[in-house]
Amino acid sequence: MRRAVLIAVGVAVGLMACRTTQPAGTENREPIGDPAQREPRQVVPSEPPGNAEPLTEPDSGTP
């Protein structure tokens, strides 16, 4: 009997946890901003990165 009650409570809690918190009709709304507007591109430098030597001076956060 206890198992049946625990299973029923678990199912009820699971169903309540899976409900969406968004109001009805949210999936049909238009975006706030202009969908054609994009973020600016980031330019990657063409020169190779610097050498990978150990730090000779203390860096911030390095003892």
Q: What is the pLDDT of residues 38-58, one digit of tens each?
A: 777 778 777 887 777 777 777
What span, in angstroms and rounded, lies between the C-alpha atoms of 33 and 39?
Answer: 12
Q: Sorting pLDDT into bands at 50, 70 and 90, what band is 1?
A: confident
Structure tokens at 5: 């009650």
- Looking at residues 32-36, what average pLDDT do you find? 69
What span, in angstroms and rounded, lies between the C-alpha atoms of 55 and 62?
Answer: 10
What's the confidence (pLDDT) of residue 5?
93
What's the confidence (pLDDT) of residue 63?
57
What's the confidence (pLDDT) of residue 7?
94
Of how many residues is the chain composed?
63
Buried b (16+ CB within 10 A) or exposed e, 31-62: eeeeeeeeeeeeeeeeeeeeeeeeeeeeeeee
